[in-house]
Structure 1
Amino acid sequence: MSSDTTGQDDTYVHRPGNTDPVVGANEPEATGFGSRGWVLVGVVALCFVGIPGAIYLVPSLPALAGLPYLAAMLALPMIPAVLLGLVAVWSMTAATRGGD
């Protein structure tokens, strides 16, 4: 067992009242969502409210574009899924790189 000359062990002890500026110096300050986070929130709202609402309110819109009903009902949910996935990856890459 090793101890220094003052009799203290070489272990870390957390002292909540310590105001040493070195403690926590590497932690980034929380500033909120940032611009990429708000883009992600907007895409989530669009994917869960906007696109399904448009399909509900105007179900004949895919037929007007020339898509058969079955193909439209299979393909239309894929659009918000791909969009949400791409924006989520885009926003997380910025968060892990420390961007924004």
Structure 2
Amino acid sequence: MSSDTTARNDATAESDTYVHRPDGVAVGGDGSEPEATGFGSRGWVLVGVVALCFLVVPGAVYLVPSLPAMAGLPYLAAMLALPMLPALALGLVAVWSMTAATRGDD
């Protein structure tokens, strides 16, 4: 390895602002640890919608398959709409929670 490459690597290492610690704690260049904020209210709303989309709606379709027919929906329309509504809700809530996270809101 040439001395020019070694000098460039040393300069890059000194200018980094992120230090990885094997114990899982990320430390900034100034030595301060990032503040642990948790999920926040938007994160818990996202968890609730994920549970709704992956547990409640499929469980309802599995346990009571005649439920859409009782509501007056034809079978084909129900089988197209039932997966689409949770997918739409999940996508909207995911975008809503991530835009808040990137802005630094709750």
**Common fold by TM > 0.5:** yes
Q: Distance in 2 between matches of 1:36 and 1:71?
A: 32
- Aligned with 2:90: secondary structure? helix
Q: Which amino acid aligns with 1:23?
A: D
Q: Which amino acid aligns with 1:38?
A: W
Of 78, 85, 104, which residue of structure 2 is paired with 1:79?
A: 85
Higher-Rg structure is 1
Give the unaligned 5+ runs of structure 2.
1-10, 20-28
Instruction: Give me the TM-score of the superposition, normalised by structure 1.
Output: 0.74
Instruction: Give me the TM-score of the superposition, normalised by structure 2.
Output: 0.70
Comparing both structures, which one devotes a greater share of its residues to helix?
A: 2
Give the unaligned 5+ runs of structure 1.
1-10, 17-21
* Count, aligned residues: 85
Corresponding residue for residue 51 of structure 2:
45
Residue 30 of structure 1 and its aligned partner are, at CA, apart by 2.5
For the aligned residue pairs, the C-alpha RMSD in angstroms reads: 2.5
**Percent identity of equivalent pairs:** 80
